[in-house]
Amino acid sequence: MITRENITSKQRSKLKAIASTRQPIGQIGKGGITDNLLKMLSDALEAHEIIKVNVLPTADEDALNLAENVADLLEAIPVAVIGRKAIFYRRSSRENYPHIEV
């Protein structure tokens, strides 16, 4: 199982490639990181394992700091921040689910 500390560049590259075809599922703006946002992102990670989120220009922090904070709160891996888009990965706890193989 990959973790934040042991993700390789090859695994990160594969996750970025998977995320490249996906649309952002939410956005972080001037309201920052709220409980509702975290719940929605956590549910999305449980359902899809990898998600992309827009960070709006009105956000209080830069995209990289917000991505790190969100990843910590969700216990997810911040795969990449590209411009104002952040990609997160967390293995789903569901059984009998076709998990992303990295």
pLDDT digit string, tens, across residues 33-44? 999 999 999 999
CA terminus-to-terminus distance, the chain: 9
Tally of domains in the chain:
1
Q: Does 2 fall in a domain?
A: no
Q: Which amino acid, residue 33?
A: I
Q: Does 99 fall in a domain?
A: no
Residue 11, pLDDT score: 94
For 28, the domain range is 9-89
Q: Which amino acid, residue 22?
A: R
In angstroms, the CA 39 to CA 94 distance is: 17
Q: Does 94 fall in a domain?
A: no
Question: What is the domain-level CATH number for residue 69?
Answer: 3.30.110.60
Q: Does 100 fall in a domain?
A: no
- State the average pLDDT over residues 36-57: 96
Confidence band of 102 (pLDDT split at 50, 70, 90): confident
Q: Does 32 fall in a domain?
A: yes
Confidence band of 5 (pLDDT split at 50, 70, 90): confident
pTM tops 0.95, yes or no: no
Q: Does 77 fall in a domain?
A: yes
